[in-house]
Amino acid sequence: MEIFKYSGPSFDLYGEEWSDSLILDDGPWPAPRATQPLAAEVEVPGSKSITNRELVLAALADGPSTLRRPLHARDTQLMIDALRALGVSFEEQDGDGRFGPDLVITPTAELEGGVSIDCGLAGTVMRFVPPVAALALGPVNFDGDPSARKRPMGGVLEGLKQLGVEVRDDGRGRLPFSLYGNGKIEGGEVEIDASASSQFVSGLLLAAPRFERGLKVTHRGGALPSVPHIEMTLESLRRRGVTATSPESGVWQVEPGPIAAIDLTIEPDLSNAAPFLLAAVVAGGEVCIPDWPTETTQVGDLLREILPKFGAEISLDGTTLICRVAQPLVEAQRPGVELDFTDAGGELAPNIAAVCALLASESRITGIAHLRGHETDRVAALAAELTRIGAEVEELPDALVIRPGELHGALWQCYEDHRMATSGALVGLAIDGIELDDVGSTSKTLPQFVAMWRAMITGAPHEPESNDTSFLSLGI
Ligand SMILES: O=C(O)C1=C[C@@H](OP(=O)(O)O)[C@@H](O)[C@H](O)C1
Ligand SMILES: C=C(OP(=O)(O)O)C(=O)O
């Protein structure tokens, strides 16, 4: 079944020539109900966060790098297109992954300016590529989807301005903007407010080994979200021989020096494992995820602690994570939960909040203020959609209080947000008549979602060939 086609990024920075990237086949998608306990093994494609960090580092490395089992999805394709526009070369290579080819990335001697970059709706592209582009000679224009223009960018732009890069923007700290690099950055120290996104810090640190004096970044502002993602950035730099440390809380230091070319296998995306593991919580039964990393900086690893709060028994059989649940959630009449998502917020909270609507008493999901600057305002979107299906929801500035109600079918709005889409699919397992207005939004990080979801429910092995992934080709 063909769910959508990706027509490829195409835009005109200052004009209105937007081409819609996702063309849905048949309007709303009826979310399948689970009528019996699940029994599925679900192989999950590579991590978005690791793939896009590694693409950036490979682009700045001292030789060709090979990425095995990288994620192939809209966010990674946008990253490849952005880096290719700056002069980096990409080659596909057959690998053992089931979700697309391996990649060989060859850096360019000199990054090329005079180009426009489409960030789509990808936070990693809009925050990680500007510091790379600032190393190029000549102007680089940045823009993205209309909804991307609402996402905060201030910390990255402020950091670049403090580094002496000429930034032309409208002062709102948002897309679109242009950078005028002169081929090098001296580096030194910057102080930014990263309370809106940890990606501001990660973006500056990833390019920092190529600054003449390296970089010290200090965060000044409110609570810093998604700290494990900054740890992932430091870890990715260290893996390539760069000295990268956090001498104290809210301060990070990267020494100048070469970024080693490496051959790396990308871990499965543990945040994308979340809807499948939570499906076992909702429907009962067992869902297994192979290749769960034994050590990881991915926030999705927190699922091993979170899922037992919903009655799941979590175990490891070698490197296969097993989530076993005795009874469907609604039958189990489990009490509400209280969870703080300051660290894992963005990626895990939407799915968890959706499942909370199926608990028997009040749940509180806190530490989620920064989710308002994600693909959509996720706090408002979750409040609206859970209310739409009959839950009683209180929306606070940085929290959601979710109380059970008479749940019923409805057209669940996805707001172009992959995690809102998978959240709708989750409640649809337990409630008749849930339809999603835009299941194609899952192509941001998981273009195979629909086929994988169906295969999980029927217990059939997922066949990647049943998806149209032709749009993922690099065209080379
Ligand atoms: O660095 C990364 O790869 C990410 C950092 C987090 O962003 P925020 O700090 O903006 O929440 C996370 O939500 C996002 O999905 C991926
Ligand atoms: C917040 C997310 O994405 P992005 O990398 O675009 O910020 C996410 O994937 O949940």
Q: With 60 as the cut, is the pLDDT of residue 470 above it?
A: no
* pLDDT tens digits, 249-259: 999 999 999 99
pLDDT tens digits for range 44-65:
999 999 999 999 999 999 999 9
pLDDT on residue 1: 27
pLDDT at 397: 97
Q: How confident is the model at residue 445 (pLDDT cuts 50, 70, 90)?
A: very high
Residue 16 in this model has a pLDDT that exceeds 50: no
pLDDT band at 460 (very low <50, low <70, confident <90, very high): low
Which atom of ligand 1 lies at the shortest distance from residue 199's CA?
1
pLDDT band at 319 (very low <50, low <70, confident <90, very high): very high
pLDDT at 98: 86
- Beta pairing class for 188-192 and 215-219: parallel
Distance 213 CA to ligand 2 centre (A): 30
Active site includes 347? yes
How remote is the CA of residue 418 from the centroid of ligand 2, in Å? Answer: 9
User: How confident is the model at residue 357, as a pLDDT?
Assistant: 98
What confidence tens digit (pLDDT) does each residue in 363-409 have? 999 999 999 999 999 999 999 999 999 999 999 999 999 999 999 99
pLDDT on residue 464? 53
In this prediction, residue 468 carries a pLDDT of 41
Q: What is the mean pLDDT of residues 310-334?
A: 97
Q: How far does the centroid of ligand 2 lie from the alpha carbon of residue 273, in Å?
A: 15
Ligand 2 contact, 122 CB (< 6 A): yes
- The model's confidence at residue 271, banded by pLDDT at 50, 70 and 90, is very high
| pLDDT value of position 459 | 85
Atom in ligand 2 nearest the alpha carbon of residue 371: 1
Alpha carbon distance 410, 343 (integer Å):
31
Which pLDDT score, from 0 to 100, does residue 450 have? 97
Mutate to test the pocket of ligand 1, among 47, 48, 49 (most ligand atoms within 8 A of CB): 49
Mean pLDDT of 211-217: 98
Which residues have any ligand 1 atom within 6 Å of their CB?
Answer: 49, 123-124, 197-199, 202, 225-226, 229, 346-347, 370
Q: How confident is the model at residue 166 (pLDDT cuts 50, 70, 90)?
A: very high
The fraction of the chain above a pLDDT of 90, given in percent, is 89
Indicate which residue of 43, 267, 347, 375 is catalytic.
Answer: 347
331 is in an annotated binding site: no
Backbone angles phi, psi at 119, to 5 degrees: -90, -5
User: 206 CB contacts (<8 Å, ≥6 apart)?
Assistant: 53, 56, 57, 60, 128, 131, 132, 233, 236, 237
The domains of the chain, with CATH numbers, are 4-45+268-472 (3.65.10.10), 48-265 (3.65.10.10)
Q: Is the pLDDT of residue 12 over 50?
A: no
Give mean pLDDT, residues 425-444.
Answer: 98
In whole angstroms, what is the distance from residue 53 CA to residue 232 CA?
9
Burial of 12 (0-12, 13-18, 19+ CB in 10 A): exposed
Task: Say if residue 3's pLDDT is above 80.
Answer: no
pLDDT for the residue 471: 36
> Which of 201-210, 251-260, 345-354 shows the lowest mean pLDDT across its residues?
345-354
Q: What is the pLDDT of residue 7?
A: 36
Ligand 2 atom at shortest distance from the alpha carbon of 419: 10
CA distance 195 to 248: 17
Q: Indicate which ligand has the atom closest to the C-alpha of 199.
A: 1
pLDDT tier at 345 (50, 70, 90 boundaries)? Answer: low
- Checking ipTM against 0.95, whether it exceeds it is yes
Both tokens of residue 422?
Answer: 């998978």
Which ligand has its closest atom nearest to the C-alpha of 233? 1
Q: What is the mean pLDDT of residues 236-250?
A: 98
Nearest Cα to 30, choosing from 1, 62, 64, 66?
1
pLDDT value at residue 461: 58
pTM: 0.93
The larger pLDDT score, comparing residue 10 to residue 40, is at 40
Is 346 near ligand 2, meaning CB less than 6 Å away? yes
Task: Tell me how far apart the alpha carbons of residues 75 and 197 are, in angstroms, rounded to a whole number.
Answer: 17
Least Cα distance to 196 among 219, 179, 178, 215 occurs for 219
Q: What's the average model confidence in pLDDT over 423-447? A: 98
Ligand nearest to the CA of 227: 1
Q: Whose CA is nearest to atom 6 of ligand 1?
A: 226
The CA distances from residue 267 to 46, 51, 168, 234, in Å, are 6, 9, 37, 16
The alpha carbon of 35 and the centre of ligand 2 are apart by a number of angstroms equal to 32
- Judge whether 199 is annotated as a binding position: yes
Rounded to the nearest angstrom, the distance between the alpha carbon of 39 and the centre of ligand 1 is 31
Identify the residue whose tokens are 């880096």: 83
Q: Is 226 among the annotated ligand-binding positions?
A: yes
Please state the rounded mean pLDDT for residues 159-172: 96
Banded model confidence at residue 465, pLDDT cuts 50, 70, 90: very low
Arithmetic mean of pLDDT over the chain: 92
